[in-house]
Structure 1
């Protein structure tokens, strides 16, 4: 399996993401995850706490599929309050590095009016490529 992160010199230096990712292997499509616990209740009342739970949920699904965080190729974060998310970006980045490391996928943050679970502040969805069997 090969994953190559591409950050062209002609684009701004990325911080916390890669501009492009090229990968060979088996694709894993990861459903959007919010801060739901095992009882399907939203946990955490801050964007940082909910991001940590949502990312943990995503990584749990990825590991069960046979993958690891460094194999994430693309991640989209859906954000209810973009100003709150940006104000907490440093703490969110620390959560990312602690749980997923520093091999960043291609990423997008998208502001939304609300998520499926009305208490959810963020949802994290991703794609990974893992070694062929």
Structure 2
């Protein structure tokens, strides 16, 4: 299995994401949306960065249970109830991403939503990975 991250020079610089990711061979893992839920089902973290760290950790835990690593992520979508707040914390969120997932960025999108299933949740992450 191999993932190739593609970032054409004609497009804006890819900072914290890849414009395209191709995958050959392997097994697909579809990752359900993860919020900042702890093991008891309670949303933890008051700020967007705190919730982002927990939601990303939850996504990576599900990926690891399927046999994958952060480098196997091909696509991640972030659903945010406040996109302006997300943009305001982008630098901090990038540092959290690099600490937990490294510098191999999947294709990503941030989508503004009115609310999430858990009303206390500020964001949710889902995605898919390609494993060998």
Q: TM-score, normalised by structure 1?
A: 0.97
Which residue of 2 is the match for residue 71 of structure 1?
A: 72
Counterpart mapping for 1:77-116 below 5 A: 77-116=78-117
| DSSP-derived class of the 2:58 partner | helix
RMSD: 0.5
Distance 1:38 1:123 in 2: 16
Distance 1:93 1:10 in 2: 23
Distance 2:86 2:122 in 1: 9
Which residue of 1 is the match for residue 61 of structure 2?
A: 60
Distance 1:107 1:129 in 2: 15
Give the superposition deviation at 1:10: 1.4
| DSSP-derived class of the 2:10 partner | coil
Distance 2:37 2:5 in 1: 31
What's the CA shift string for 1:70-98, capped at 9, x where partnerless? 11000000000111111111111000000
Which residue of 2 is the match for residue 124 of structure 1?
A: 125
Task: Note the residue ranges of structure 1 that are not aligned, 5 or more in a row.
Answer: none
How many corresponding residue pairs? 131
Distance 1:68 1:130 in 2: 8
Task: Note the residue ranges of structure 2 that are not aligned, 5 or more in a row.
Answer: none
Distance 2:94 2:45 in 1: 17
Which residue of 2 is the match for residue 9 of structure 1?
A: 9
